[in-house]
């Protein structure tokens, strides 16, 4: 092609691939970032499609763990019996309030 702007209008789309291949690449990128986030070495040979898909399927659980799983039983602080225990009582109250939503 010759003429003004012949090469300017074409975008480099890279290598064409199917939707499944693109989805698998996204899964592999997520897996690589996940391994970096948990401070484990990323070994290409260990990144099998089955392992990558397991991490991909669990990604919402990994990013947003269920609050009930982490929540321990919140007990009200013990009543203050002496004025000298004010610091411990205030810390207990602060701890309980921080655990509750």
The residue ranges of the chain whose pLDDT is under 70 are 1-9, 61-72, 100-101
Assigned token pair, 39? 């401070």
pLDDT of residue 94: 80
* Burial state string for 15-37 with b = 16 or more CB within 10 A and e = fewer than 16: eeeeeeeeebeebbeebeebbee
Q: Which residues of 85-96 are buried (b: 16+ CB within 10 A; e: fewer)?
A: eeeebeebeeee
By residue count, the chain amounts to 101
Cα 81 to Cα 100: distance, rounded to the nearest angstrom: 24
pLDDT at 64: 63
Please tell me the predicted confidence (pLDDT) of residue 65. Answer: 59
| Structure confidence at residue 32 (pLDDT) | 92
Vertex 16: Cα angle to 12 and 22 (nearest 5): 110
């Amino acid at each position: 092609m010759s003429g003004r702007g012949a090469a300017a209008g074409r975008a480099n789309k890279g290598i064409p691939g199917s939707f499944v291949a693109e989805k698998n690449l996204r899964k592999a990128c997520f897996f690589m970032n996940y391994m970096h986030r948990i401070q484990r070495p990323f070994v290409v040979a260990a990144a099998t499609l089955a392992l990558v898909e397991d991490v991909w399927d669990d990604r919402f659980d990994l990013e947003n763990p269920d609050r009930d799983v982490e929540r321990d039983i919140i007990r009200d602080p013990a009543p203050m019996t002496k004025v000298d225990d004010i610091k411990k009582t205030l810390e207990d109250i602060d701890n309980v309030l921080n655990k509750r939503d």
